[in-house]
Chains A and B, each alone.
Chain A
Amino acid sequence: MSRIQSVFQNLQAAGRKALIPFITAGDPDGELTVPLMRALVAGGADIIELGVPFSDPMADGPTIQRASERALAGGMSLGKVLGIVRAFRAGDDATPVVLMGYANPVEAMGQGAFAAAARDAGVDGVLVVDYPPEECTAFTAGLRAAGLDQIFLLAPTSTEQRFRDVARCGGGYIYYVSLKGVTGAANIDFDELGRRIPRVRAAVGIPVGVGFGIRDAASAKRIGAFADAVVIGSRIIEEIEASPRERSAANVETFVRGIRAALDETAGAKP
């Protein structure tokens, strides 16, 4: 069983929801990423999504764009991100790490070389925003052979047929995009989500996480009432941006702990 699967199984047994924070590797600098990851875990993260910075992050709003620009200005690269995961793994063998990014850095490294290097570094899952299932069959097979879960997105625009098609290729969990828009946007329709998520889960047969635009304990709690996992990204990056460098890990931990507490209030709510 993969790390991701066992995390969801244990949470489910306890009637709890997964908290999946996102940070961009190398933001604000490469030395701080591992301490930030450990702070996320200390604050109650179940899985970490680690952003691989890209020059043209088309699906991201201004906050994650800025994080990418800072990381690239500091010389971050896909190869260095794998080094960060290796360093994180040296002190944490339990928390799954999912790399999230865009196709071109993977293409530049080579799909096969990437799958092997990611496995060796201790990566558990990979989400490539601009690799829809139909454009990456060989990549999907390569990740599967390396024992990695490929996480796919589903969106408010996806049809039920699409739920099933995507689920056939995906592993780990489905990342359901809460809104039509980019990361960090603020127009979530909770009622619509509440109707959609049970249908998505029924179709895909793996856990469903919801992300994009979840900014605080209250919205996380509302999402946690019907989703298996809550993903928070832009809001955490804003926390890093607003903190002096030496305080950022502590501030991120405090913020995540608040979300954790709110999510656990929904513990025992029906899945």
Chain B
Amino acid sequence: MTDMQYSLPDAQGHFGPYGGVFVAETLMPALAELRAAYEASRADPAFIAEFEHELKHYVGRPSPIYYARRLSEKLGGARILLKREDLDHTGAHKVNNCIGQALLARRMGKPRVIAETGAGQHGVATATVAARYGFECVVYMGSEDIERQAANVYRMKLLGAAVAPVESGSRTLKDALNEAMRDWVTNVSNTFYIIGTVAGPHPYPAMVRDFQTVIGKECLAQMPEAFGRQPDAIIACVGGGSNAMGIFHPYIPHEGVRLIGVEAAGEGIATGRHAAPLTANARAGVLHGNRTYLMQDENGQVIETHSISAGLDYPGVGPEHAWLKDSGRAEYVAVTDDEALEAFHTLCRLEGIIPALESSHAAAYAMKIAPALGKDKLLLVNLSGRGDKDIHTVGERSGIRF
């Protein structure tokens, strides 16, 4: 453990050259209001107590760390540990952040919440908290993702949310975000926008991270109890990057712990059909309210991305990840659709765990490096969600129709 100082972002939401508040004027006052409400809430013991109470009794926290013994023994190297965010209520880590933002929305007196979703996990989590706290809820989802994630769409409807299909652009996550922003700018006085990842304008990247750090804080306590020490490396998938920031952030001062973010290489970085702006060293740009690594053409137009996993299919990445890459504190790699699928099947068969395709990327990278590492090494993988939502996608790859 060291005393490495880390207090980013600055007051304007910058992580070095990244982050910030790049939005149209109409939203500037709303973001100022949100910043003020969030700053007051995070300093309020009653708010924190309610957040923690909800995480324990509604989400089912803390989530366990599980030693994947058969997987580790088969690989013959480092021990692989899984932080079981797939066991959270709604089936993924997304709900941690949604609880936090819902409590904030209630405190700010907003009767309506909106969200964007890619894989549908954040949409489901938002619809869930909207039902739990009695908000009207609209979830924006690209029409291509609606097709890929039909079960989650129905889940949101069961929970009382309206799912609004987005037909513009590439009809995926980034376009859903554009449309949610348009809704917010139109209904800003009565609507709280629950962003699902550590992107967007300040204070979202810091706020979403803070709500998700419950993951890493639990690990800090659980690792010494169950395994006698902290892990050698933490591995998490990165689309926008909220599960990764949640588990990385409390470990930033622990310099002996490697932090490894795994992006979606899609069909391979060299093919250009991927969603890995950090790994591919994409140029920095401005999208969705912040400056970050951004997949774009030479004229600054955002390009279409590809991943088998809808939740990683995003051309940007949270600005704090951009900063962690440049600073060298975290490393970023990418695994392909095929590698993620193989990890998906391996976890199913060796551990009885069906992982989300997103989380399968993190597992795939752990499986890649574990054999070359000693048996005394500990790799902690953030298993950010369960894969029931993905069985259609995986089945189709095997020629199975439901």
Main secondary structure of the interface of B (DSSP, over half): mixed
Q: A55-B169, A77-B301, A107-B284 are in contact. List 7 more A-B contacts (CB 8 A).
A: A56-B169, A56-B302, A59-B24, A102-B286, A108-B300, A132-B24, A156-B26
A230 within 8 A of B: no
Interchain Cβ contacts under 8 Å between A and B, 16 examples: A57-B178, A58-B181, A103-B22, A104-B287, A107-B285, A107-B291, A108-B283, A130-B286, A132-B21, A135-B22, A154-B25, A157-B27, A162-B28, A162-B29, A180-B185, A180-B186
B279 within 8 A of A: no
Cα A153 to Cα B23 in complex, Å, equals 11
Residues of A contacting B189 with CB < 8 Å?
Answer: 180
Which chain A residues in 224-265 approach chain B with CB under 8 Å?
none
Contact A103 B187 (CB under 8 A): no
Neighbour of A158 across the interface among B28, B175, B296, B301, CB < 8 A: B28
* A172 CB to nearest chain B CB (Å): 16
Measured CB to CB, the nearest residue on chain B to A101 is B300
**If A104-B286, A106-B300 touch, does A181 touch B24 (CB 8 Å cutoff)?**
no
Which chain B residues in 290-348 approach chain A with CB under 8 Å?
291, 294, 296, 298-303
A8 within 8 A of B: no
Neighbour of B298 across the interface among A108, A132, A152, CB < 8 A: A108
A24 within 8 A of B: no
* A59 CB to nearest chain B CB (Å): 4
Residues of A contacting B178 with CB < 8 Å?
Answer: 56-58
B188 within 8 A of A: yes
Neighbour of A177 across the interface among B25, B182, B288, CB < 8 A: B25
Count chain A CB atoms within 10 A of each CB in B21, B188, B301 and give the residue with the most.
B301
B249 within 8 A of A: no
Residues of A contacting B21 with CB < 8 Å?
Answer: 132, 134-135
Cα A33 to Cα B298 in complex, Å, equals 23
Cα A130 to Cα B302 in complex, Å, equals 15
Contact A152 B25 (CB under 8 A): yes
Which chain A residues in 172-191 approach chain B with CB under 8 Å?
177, 180-182, 185
**If A104-B294, A157-B26 touch, does A182 touch B186 (CB 8 Å cutoff)?**
yes
